[in-house]
Structure 1
Amino acid sequence: MCGIWAVFGISPEKIRHHETSAKISHRGPDAWRIEYDNRLKNGCLCFHRLSIVDELCGMQPMKRIFNPHLTLLCNGELYNCERLSEEFGFKYESHCDVECIMHLYDKFGADRTASMLDGVFGFCLVDAKKRRILIARDAYGVRPLFRLTGPGGVLGICSEAKGLIHLVDGPEYKLDPFPPGTFEEYELDLEGRATLIRQQKYYTIGDKPAYRMAVLEKDYSDDIYANIRTVFTAAVKKRLMADRRIGCLLSGGLDSSLVAALLVKLANEANLPYKVQTFSIGMGDESPDLVAARKVAAHIGSEHHEVVFSEKDVEDVLKDVLYHLEIADITTLRASIPMFLLARYIKEKTDSTVIFSGEGADEVAQGYIYFRDAPSEEEGHKESLRLLNELYLYDVLRTDRTTAAHSLEVRVPFLDHQFSSYYLNLPKKLLQPQDNVEKYVLRKAFDGLDLLPKDILWRHKEAFSDGVASKKKPIFKILQETIEPLVPNEALAEAEKRFPQCTPKTKEALFYRQEFDSNYPGQGHWLPHFWMPRWSDATDPSAQFISHYAAE
């Protein structure tokens, strides 16, 4: 996890570092570099580094001797860098995984570069000789990337919008999340003005990856449960790539527990020189998540840490979370607060830097409670794909921003290309909840192995922002009580006039939107719609308003 920033078509004297690239310094506290390339008039690149792999040679903007015309900015982890070297004979000049991007481009050009990468990334590659820029983002948008375009050939890219917002100078400037699974190619004229040549989708969710996979298809068996175990274990194993200490978020639900259990098992097999740390959070010692996570940690033998937070903590960090989040979605904000507090603890109290998470399982495996109400297996599958295509606006955005705010790198094995493509291509009937149990096939694949306690493996679904508290007073009620005196009634009455796009209907939603608008004025279009359960008459996104909710 790092921070990348680049601007083309704006003269250097108009760029104020403290208002632009410095705004993402939390993403890379270990080192930073800003560079003006004389070969590219009005081109400026900046990198904030969090050292994870190859501390000596991994600094960016990256240049290499084999092609000195290329300059790379990349925030990402590429797990097949060694396989690419074996397959194509690449001779790396460092041990830094992202160097493979430069070799792929040198060999194949823009067409195949992004599609050959197994990992998560947002990158900007500048070819000074051809005067071309290649920008790309990973398939699910796990790594963030924003793009700014403006009159006169202005082009900017940044890991977070806060690094570009001060360059927006009127309605002709467009600042948007860069679409996942996509690359764009630009041409630079002699004045450094950028012109879009093409935008191309290189990956469709559910398709098989274009690169040689970690588990070859010929090694699949006729047993789908064995294949799920094999592919998901490989997804966790490849993400052990790090020179920093690895830990894992652990709520005690199926997703994070499964990741934590496999992580501890594989770390022990790899003889890592430390014990894997696990982290859970709750309001009071007996919050559902803390109780369940405690049981999992004892079973798998992790070094477990618990964080207990209060209503005052929620109030204290609310505005900070809204600033870092860069979205005004109700569900996303609610779930971000405990994750933000937990990430702060990890940064301040431990030496874990690479953090595993169970994000993505609900979208891949139809894990939300409302999937029980899907009218057909086909509709359930369509909803799963819709959620996966929008992950970069909601859950993976939350996971990235709350951890990156505290200079941590998050890794999400459920969004591994090979695992997700295999799982999504199982018979649609199998993917649905069975006997009122979500993610039945995933649970069944790991049943009987003693990897987890049985009651954890089959634990009912519990929304994260609710599980950290209790049904008596979940976090959304705490937030509503905190916000109530801050928003006058007349402001809510005027909300539709002020915010016609995704109009806030409650004081809670209006407060989030007002704060968002003060940080990112005129950018409400980043939120296409509020996250809400489907096939339900619920008026609030909390899982507690779905009839199937079973948490205590």
Structure 2
Amino acid sequence: MCGIWALFGSDECLSVQCTSAMKIAHRGPDAFRFENINGFTNCCFGFHRLAIVDQLYGMQPIRIKKFPYLWLVYNGEIYNHHTLKERFEFTDYQTKVDGEILLHLYERFGIQKMASLLDGVFAFVLLDTANRKVFLGRDTYGVRPLFKLLTDDGFLAVCSEAKGLTDITHSMSSPPKITPFLPGHFEVFDLKPTGKVGSIQMDRFHCCTQEPNHAAYDTVERLPSGFVPETVKSNIRSLFENAVRKRLMAHRRIGCLLSGGLDSSLVAATLVKLAKEEKLKYPIQTFAIGAEDSPDILAARKVASYIGSEHHEVNFTPEEGLKAVEEVIFHLETYDITTIRASVGMYLVSKYIREKTDSVVIFSGEGSDELTQGYIYFHKAPTPKAAAEDSVRLLKELYLFDVLRADRTTSAHGLELRVPFLDHRFTAYYLSLPEEMRQPKDGVEKHLLRDSFKGLNLIPDEILWRRKEAFSDGMMSVKKSWYNSLQDQMESEVNDFQLEKSPKTFPFLPPRTKEAYFYRQVFEKLYPGQAEWLSHYWMPRWINATDPSARTLSIYKPDKDQ
């Protein structure tokens, strides 16, 4: 991860404003730069670097001699930058940084085509001083975060995390609104001589259901068409393996989170397989967290032994988890219940990785549940069409929940997250399949994905067909779930009177449980008046759910070995 920060049209001292940029220093522990923009004394960029590619010359803002009027700060990885460079015969490359491709694409094609040709995850601020334009953009699923603050008089502040904007000072009649930048969109601003801006265009450049424009230049062979089951399963395997392969782009050590569930196991097994083919000079490290003999720990241990990874287990106790809750909410910038529950384990395992190992680039299985209808409530979908529509909804909301969790918990410890299940081509193909083919089958969620890898011996069969278990649930035994420990603790933290008055205390999205009330209290202490950063709580559909945990649902059935 890296952290980007930019101001346009500030009426306060930039050296004072710069202190806000330091709130996201954890995202880039390797280097920091603060740079004023030539000719605009009230505009500047801030950048925290986590060096993954071109460690010597990859500092930002990126500026090259060929286009001296362009300034770029971005957080992300462009996996097809070599392909695009060769395809369009770009010359005079100045660095080996993947992000330099944005400057060449923009100069030749403009912002719309530039954004649509990028195969990767990214959030960027691009400044064109020659044409007096500022551009913001964010990848399809919002894997990389981006927030903006725009005042009525045209002051614009941008940051990778909202916390980097909360203390920005500017003369204004009312508090400005800090909003997440919409994934899959770009925005164009006119830059005035004063440094202030005016928004003139906001457009979508890619939606998850569309075949991405960059697919025309992909190195993957053209896939066989049609919906014959064997053809579909072969295509799924090819696209998934390619999604993992392209994400091997790194000059730092690669590792993988491994819960022992289907998704992380497929990622880890494919990663180990490709690492051997690519002759990486080190073994792939895998990381599991959970209570001793919890379902996830046991399953992950089995997978790691099977695939031959260098496996690490992090012991999780409820007491340690409870101590970390406030830190986790600080990094998450949310009070969503299930997001916080799942984030505690991911935060603690990321802390272990940073402190005890040299792995920096971390693969994970985020996005699969949304794409492949993995949540057990999909068994209750009234129709295949309803299930398919909800799958797309979940993908579009990832930046508010699972992707937010994965980004913040890893970046808090200076790690970089890679999520192959959210590869553009893989998701577009999967969503193009018939609705009936994608829904749960024979009482098994993700049936198509599982069946696609059946008989390949990539992972153990019992893992391939292991029932869905939420990360925050699988860390503990069925008898005493993590959410049970949290709720027990909150009984002493929040009293009945407080909960009864919660609609008055918190009129926006009032908490309905003591656990939710506690999270909201902590959030309001850290980020007062910012409740609208969360638009709604994550909750299962089509079932009478009062809690987001799958273990509370009437249709939940644990594996027989749990």
TM superposition score normalised by structure 2 = 0.96
**Residues 94-493 of structure 1 correspond to what in structure 2 (within 5 A)?**
94-167=95-168, 171-211=174-214, 212-216=216-220, 218-220=222-224, 223-284=231-292, 286-493=293-500
- Report the equivalent of 1:522: 529
- Report the equivalent of 1:543: 550
**Would the aligned equivalents of 2:316 and 2:475 in 1 still touch at CA under 8 Å?**
no
Displacement of 1:29: 0.4
Matched to 1:415, the amino acid is L
SS in structure 2 at match of 1:398: helix
Structure 2 distance, partners of 1:480, 1:174, is 33
Describe the superposition over 1:520-543 as per-residue Cα deviations: whole angstroms up to 9, x where unpaired: 222111211110000010101110
Structure 2 distance, partners of 1:221, 1:350, is 44
Structure 2 distance, partners of 1:227, 1:111, is 29
Displacement of 1:18: 6.3
Deviation larger for 324-333 or 521-530: 521-530
Matched to 1:193, the amino acid is K
Displacement of 1:482: 2.0
Structure 1 distance, partners of 2:383, 2:512, is 31
**Would the aligned equivalents of 1:208 and 1:421 in 2 still touch at CA under 8 Å?**
yes
SS in structure 2 at match of 1:297: helix
Matched to 2:126, the amino acid is L
- Quick check: 1:33 aligned with 2:33? yes
Unaligned runs of 5+ in 1: none
Instruction: Give the % identical residues.
Output: 53
Displacement of 1:40: 2.2
Structure 2 distance, partners of 1:488, 1:546, is 26
**Residues 6-45 of structure 1 correspond to what in structure 2 (within 5 A)?**
6-11=6-11, 13=13, 16-17=16-17, 19-45=19-45
Matched to 2:267, the amino acid is V
Displacement of 1:146: 0.5
- Report the equivalent of 1:56: 56
**Would the aligned equivalents of 2:12 and 2:169 in 1 still touch at CA under 8 Å?**
no
Displacement of 1:306: 0.2
SS in structure 2 at match of 1:197: strand
Structure 1 distance, partners of 2:12, 2:313, is 47
**Would the aligned equivalents of 1:214 and 1:234 in 2 still touch at CA under 8 Å?**
no
Describe the superposition over 1:214-264 as per-residue Cα deviations: whole angstroms up to 9, x where unpaired: 355634365111111001100000000000000000000000000000000
Matched to 2:167, the amino acid is H
Displacement of 1:488: 2.9
Describe the superposition over 1:449-490 as per-residue Cα deviations: whole angstroms up to 9, x where unpaired: 110111101111001101000111111111112222222332
Deviation larger for 132-141 or 8-17: 8-17
SS in structure 2 at match of 1:72: strand
Displacement of 1:213: 4.8
Displacement of 1:17: 5.0
Structure 2 distance, partners of 1:452, 1:221, is 27
Structure 1 distance, partners of 2:317, 2:499, is 28
Structure 2 distance, partners of 1:213, 1:230, is 16
SS in structure 2 at match of 1:45: strand
TM superposition score normalised by structure 1 = 0.98
- Quick check: 1:4 aligned with 2:4? yes
Displacement of 1:111: 2.1
Deviation larger for 248-257 or 441-450: 441-450
Q: 1:419 to 1:27 in 2, by over 3 A?
A: same
Matched to 1:229, the amino acid is R
Displacement of 1:153: 1.0
Q: 1:543 to 1:165 in 2, by over 3 A?
A: same
Structure 1 distance, partners of 2:510, 2:110, is 44
Structure 2 distance, partners of 1:512, 1:308, is 24
Unaligned runs of 5+ in 2: none
Structure 2 distance, partners of 1:186, 1:40, is 15
Displacement of 1:311: 1.8
Structure 2 distance, partners of 1:150, 1:335, is 35
Matched to 1:362, the amino acid is D
Structure 2 distance, partners of 1:261, 1:472, is 30
Structure 1 distance, partners of 2:16, 2:444, is 54
Matched to 1:72, the amino acid is L
Structure 2 distance, partners of 1:98, 1:256, is 28
Q: Paired residue for 1:497, among 504, 517, 523? A: 504
Deviation larger for 406-415 or 219-228: 219-228
Matched to 1:79, the amino acid is Y
**Would the aligned equivalents of 2:17 and 2:168 in 1 still touch at CA under 8 Å?**
no
Deviation larger for 511-520 or 68-77: 511-520
Structure 1 distance, partners of 2:217, 2:398, is 23
Deviation larger for 492-501 or 292-301: 492-501
Matched to 1:500, the amino acid is P
Structure 2 distance, partners of 1:167, 1:151, is 15
Displacement of 1:14: 5.6
**Would the aligned equivalents of 1:137 and 1:179 in 2 still touch at CA under 8 Å?**
yes
Q: 1:103 to 1:163 in 2, by over 3 A?
A: same
Q: 1:213 to 1:228 in 2, by over 3 A?
A: farther
Structure 2 distance, partners of 1:168, 1:297, is 50
Displacement of 1:319: 0.5
Displacement of 1:168: 6.4
**Would the aligned equivalents of 2:84 and 2:217 in 1 still touch at CA under 8 Å?**
no
Displacement of 1:15: 5.4
Displacement of 1:501: 1.7
Structure 2 distance, partners of 1:17, 1:48, is 15
Structure 2 distance, partners of 1:41, 1:88, is 36
Matched to 1:224, the amino acid is V
**Would the aligned equivalents of 2:288 and 2:349 in 1 still touch at CA under 8 Å?**
yes
SS in structure 2 at match of 1:205: coil
SS in structure 2 at match of 1:41: strand
Matched to 2:60, the amino acid is Q
